[in-house]
Structure 1
Amino acid sequence: MEVTDEINLVFPLILLLFSQYCGAVIKRHDIPATAYQVVKPPEYLIDMPHDGHGVLISPNWIVTVAHVIFYDYQGKMIDIGDKSYQVEKVIIHPGYKKPDKSLTQGDAKPLMDFFKSNHDIALVKLASSVHEVAPIKLYSEADELGKTVSVYGKGSTGDGLTGEVKGTKSLKVLNRFENEIETLEANWLSLKFDRPPHGLELEGIEGNGDSGGPSVIHKNNTPYLAGLVSWDYWQGDLASFKNGLYGNRSYQVRISSYIKWINHTINNS
């Protein structure tokens, strides 16, 4: 994998091993993998044309992370429910930038600082409206701290003891994990993968390919989109990075910080 390709994913994934795990997302080692599997996918969860996910937030609009827009998706088809819909246009947040190659080597701090200052969000407009699938509501409150989120994805898998196993990404099995929002930053929600006996029963963290997957808060039995899977935090040399280990932290795009931009973009497009 080339360095430029790695940066376009959740995080630069280096020195990963292959194995025969089944399913997606990174799980607890002491819980059966089947407990994380999703029998009926939420209809608002969208598979993007090349890689990663998006979320249906209105009949004509999908929100996703900007780094899964690998090329011009205009005219591409996206499956939603039992139908396919054509992409009319993609609007990337004006504050989004791709990292320079120099940031992908050596000490991780410059890359982490770059990620924190970035605006990893984009909107995809569909050429026709979706009527058969209900969009998810956006979480607009600034009280996410301490709340439990359910996170969906079809990316790589593994467990907290051995970490992510790169070769499992192609399995494309949808799973769901839970985690507690540990810290809030201006545009980010942060999760930590706690080792048992700490953490939740279905504690987990995302894998490579889960980018853009929804972090969902349930309020009065109604799901709300609180975040989007974006990147993983690391300290030290990037060459020693291992995704999916207990103690690792991930960052999700904080939807409540982008409500005004989302509404303005939709209303003016």
Structure 2
Amino acid sequence: MNLISKLILGGLITASLHANAMIIRHDVSDGKYIQQAADYPAIFPLKDDGKTKNCVGTLLTPQWAITAAHCTILLEPDSQLEIAGNKAKVHSIHLPPEYGYMKAIKNEQGKIIDIEDKVKDASFDIALLRLSHPLKGVQTFPLLEQKVNVNQTIEVMGWGDFGNGLEGVSRKERVNDRQLRVAHNKIDAINGNYLIFNFDAPDSKNALPLEGINGPGDSGSPALIKLPNGYFVAGISSGGDYPGVQTHKREGKYGWQEYYININAMTAWIAETMALSITKN
């Protein structure tokens, strides 16, 4: 199992499924990152228990959403989602065959106590959700069709727990206010199915004014690229680590590296899956 798979597995069993996190610059006011959820209506949590919001999905079309494959352990067919004030059930869940699967093992109270890990290739950590019916009057964030490039600016986002790059975040020490925060970053590398970007310290020439990254629990959230005609999904949050470091107590300090699944690499599977599912039904 590679490092990203270990991070995913460890995070799912511990606090990362119980809170989303955004990690921001320590020298910039938190208020500059806070945004209204209404400005990003296609973004929604897969689970919301009233205290925390867990994993993130993005509405691509009125009946299809996208998230990380490992987040689907939170869902089953008929799971109910709320998207921009609309309610819909999950009709079906689709994973790339290269990914394999993860299956939640629950106790009698329905709490996840373990995970059956059958992941074959974590670089295919992406999933499509077909909803029970098309939502009416909703805004969608379509997939980016043009090529993603190194140094391209992206927007990343999440709810709830947050921290800063000087201190990082701990899965045991959580600060949560359920507010949506949006940060900026630049793609540093494209490797296989991954878009890779770093959390640069303020004194770095690469740091952006609203530099930031996702933290534990933001899996499935999109990397958005803003074009003149709106937002487009360029990547899906999968995991992160400190390059070359095997163990750590606090995540998300400066130097942390994020791994997103590159939509460009998955376009053919996405198009085929959506077409086949509609044909079968």
TM-score (norm 2): 0.79
- After superposition, residues 57-206 of structure 1 pair within 5 angstroms as 57-97=60-100, 118-166=123-171, 167-168=173-174, 170-198=176-204, 199-206=207-214
Give the distance between the partners of 1:158 and 1:90, measured in 2 at CA: 32
Give the distance between the partners of 1:43 and 1:75, measured in 2 at CA: 22
Q: Deviations over 1:106-143 (max 9, x none)?
A: xxxxxxxx997531001111011011212112112223
**Residue 158 (structure 1) shift:** 0.8
| Match in the other structure for 1:255 | 263
Alignment gaps of 5+ in structure 2: 49-53, 103-118
| Match in the other structure for 1:102 | none
Deviates more, 1:174-183 or 1:141-150: 141-150
TM-score (norm 1): 0.82
Q: Does residue 35 of the first structure (1) align with residue 38 of the second (2)?
A: no
Q: For the Cα contact (< 8 Å) 2:99–2:121, is it kept in 1?
A: no
Q: For the Cα contact (< 8 Å) 1:65–1:120, is it kept in 2?
A: yes
Give the distance between the partners of 2:210 and 2:247, measured in 1 at CA: 29
Q: CA 1:188 to 1:155, structure 2 compared with 1: closer, same or farther past 3 Å?
A: farther
Give the distance between the partners of 1:95 and 1:170, measured in 2 at CA: 35
| Match in the other structure for 1:25 | 22
Give the distance between the partners of 1:11 and 1:249, measured in 2 at CA: 19
User: Match for 2:31: what amino acid?
Assistant: T
User: Match for 2:165: what amino acid?
Assistant: G
Q: CA 1:251 to 1:8, structure 2 compared with 1: closer, same or farther past 3 Å?
A: same
Give the distance between the partners of 1:85 and 1:47, measured in 2 at CA: 13
Q: CA 1:220 to 1:115, structure 2 compared with 1: closer, same or farther past 3 Å?
A: farther
SS at match of 1:264: helix
- After superposition, residues 190-229 of structure 1 pair within 5 angstroms as 190-198=196-204, 199-229=207-237
| Match in the other structure for 1:242 | 250
Aligned sequence identity (%): 27
Deviates more, 1:26-35 or 1:164-173: 164-173
Q: For the Cα contact (< 8 Å) 1:10–1:231, is it kept in 2?
A: no
User: Match for 1:177: what amino acid?
Assistant: A
Deviates more, 1:76-85 or 1:64-73: 64-73
Alignment gaps of 5+ in structure 1: 17-22, 100-113
| Match in the other structure for 2:45 | 47
Q: CA 1:155 to 1:245, structure 2 compared with 1: closer, same or farther past 3 Å?
A: same
**Residue 11 (structure 1) shift:** 8.2
State the aligned residue count. Answer: 245
Q: Deviations over 1:16-52 (max 9, x none)?
A: 9xxxxxx940000000111110123411102113720
RMSD, matched Cα: 2.8
SS at match of 1:25: strand
